[in-house]
């Protein structure tokens, strides 16, 4: 029955067929996903290419159910091999709802580490997928940016998978904390670095060590994010898009801690940033301050001010930054505009 109805000329029938398939997978996975029964799940794959976007949406939801059933009767590897590229391509679908559902599905697949399990070239496959997804962090639609950000975080927060050159154990020590770091080299030579920072339990100055660990995490995250601007040849104008993409996710602390960026811009060596990277950092810094003052989205102008502590910090730091970049009109202007977010009466 399903073999005929999943190709029905009526869009509504194809949608209902896909919905029913999700229920069958939940309750009878041994029938629809086991290898010995002929891989009936393959029938749903064709719906990923359906001309009607509502069918594509429902198919992505159905596959999400199937992949979350990652147990004794999990989605066959051959299916993932065959359809992974199409799933990634759907993150660029012309319909926003399709893009969002595709991101949800890829988040599930990434969390379960299925991309690398699906082929002998899994790491390279994941790198290619990461590159395709990352470009959408700069999309104009907020729902797309944030959906993609959630997938990217899932990938980067997993156990490190790429090569590292710190020591034989892939670990580096920083005063009472252990940093596990890994680096991805993209096809154009740019790199993506992932790290996990863990505090030692026997340290005597936990607060100090934690601050160092967070700063180290911020440094690595910011390096990764700056690489995206280089990889996609984007200018500072896209900094607010990136800040907005990761705004709901505290895991990316580098895009929430404007004090870290301010201190970096004030450092003698500018953290070894290039001139182009400094332009981007200034733009990111300005947008994080705007958010801290109450801005809700990409174009919102806050009606309030920074809290008292943040305001005092900016009063102390901002004049030095404006003085440092006074020879660059664009940077100095961006920084000078931030005064509007400080309550000078406190």
User: Which one of 73-77, 271-275, 279-283 scores highest in mean pLDDT?
Assistant: 279-283
> 334 pLDDT band (50/70/90 cuts)?
very high
Query: Across residues 306-312, what is the average pLDDT?
Result: 95
Q: Which pLDDT band, with edges at 50, 70 and 90, does 267 fall under?
A: very high
Would the pLDDT of 30 be above 60? yes
- 133: which residues sit within 8 A by CB, 6+ positions away? 88, 91, 103, 106, 148, 151, 152
- Spatial neighbors of 248 by CB under 8 A, at least 6 apart, are 146, 149
Q: Is the dihedral of CA 134, 137, 141, 144 positive or negative?
A: positive
Q: Which of 2-6, 161-165, 211-215, 323-327 has the highest mean pLDDT?
A: 323-327
In degrees and rounded to multiples of 5, residue 271 shows phi and psi of 55, 25
Sheet with 191-199, side-by-side order of all strands: 171-174, 177-185, 191-199
From 141, 164, 56, select the one nearest 101 (Cα to Cα). Answer: 56
The burial of 53, by beta-carbon neighbours within 10 Å (0-12 exposed, 13-18 middle, 19 or more buried), is given as middle
List pLDDT tens digits, range 80-126. 888 888 998 998 899 999 999 998 898 888 766 655 555 555 566 66
Of 47-51, 258-262, 287-291, least confident by mean pLDDT is 47-51
Measured between alpha carbons, how far is 102 from 48 in angstroms, rounded to an integer?
Answer: 10
Cβ-Cβ contacts under 8 Å for 229 (sequence gap 6 or more): 235, 238, 276, 277, 280
Q: SS3 for 198? A: strand
C-alpha closest to that of 150 among 92, 83, 101: 101
User: pLDDT tens digits for 207-252?
Assistant: 655 666 778 888 888 988 998 999 899 999 999 999 999 999 988 8
| Alpha-carbon distances of 166 from 181, 186, 198, rounded to whole Å | 8, 19, 16
H or E element in which residue 177 lies = strand 177-185
The pLDDT value given to residue 178: 43
pLDDT digits (tens, 9 = 90+) for 139-161: 988 988 998 898 888 776 654 43
The 10s digit of each residue's pLDDT in 116-135 is 555 555 566 667 777 778 88
pTM of the predicted structure, to 2 decimals:
0.72
DSSP symbols for 88-114: HHGGG-SSHHHHHHHHHHHHHHHHTTH
- Name which of 72, 157, 67 is nearest 118 in CA terms: 67
Q: Which of 63, 61, 158 is nearest to 110 (CA)?
A: 158
């Amino acid at each position: 029955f399903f073999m005929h109805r999943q190709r029905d000329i009526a869009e509504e029938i194809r949608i209902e067929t896909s919905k029913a398939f999700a229920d069958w997978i939940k309750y009878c996975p041994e029938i629809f996903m086991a290898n010995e029964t002929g891989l009936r799940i393959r029938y749903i794959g064709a719906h990923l290419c359906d001309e009607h976007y509502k069918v594509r949406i429902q198919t992505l939801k159905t596959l999400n159910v199937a992949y979350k059933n990652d147990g004794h009767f999990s989605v066959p590897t051959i299916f993932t091999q065959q359809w992974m590229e199409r799933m990634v391509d759907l993150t660029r679908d012309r319909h926003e709802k399709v893009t969002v559902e595709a991101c949800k599905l890829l988040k599930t697949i990434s969390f379960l580490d299925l991309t690398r399990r699906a082929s002998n070239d899994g790491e390279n496959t994941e790198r290619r997928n990461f590159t395709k997804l990352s470009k959408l962090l700069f999309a104009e639609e907020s729902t797309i940016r944030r959906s993609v950000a959630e997938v990217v975080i899932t990938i980067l927060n997993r156990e490190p998978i790429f090569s590292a050159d710190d020591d034989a154990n892939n670990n580096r020590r920083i005063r009472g904390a252990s940093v596990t770091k890994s680096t991805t080299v993209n096809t154009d030579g740019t790199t993506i670095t992932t790290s996990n920072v863990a505090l030692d339990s026997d340290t005597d100055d936990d607060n100090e060590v934690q601050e160092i660990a967070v700063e180290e995490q911020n440094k690595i995250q910011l390096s990764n994010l700056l690489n995206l601007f280089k990889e996609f040849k984007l200018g500072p104008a896209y900094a607010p898009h990136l800040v907005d993409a990761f705004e709901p996710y505290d895991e990316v602390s580098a895009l929430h801690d404007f004090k870290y960026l301010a201190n970096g811009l004030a450092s003698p060596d500018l953290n070894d940033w290039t001139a182009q990277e400094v332009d981007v950092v200034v733009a990111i810094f300005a947008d994080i301050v705007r958010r801290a003052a109450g801005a809700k989205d990409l174009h919102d102008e806050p009606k309030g001010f920074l809290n008292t502590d943040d305001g005092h910090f900016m009063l102390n730091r901002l004049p030095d930054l404006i003085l440092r970049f006074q020879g660059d009109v664009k940077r100095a202007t961006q920084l000078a505009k931030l005064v509007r977010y400080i309550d000078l009466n406190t």
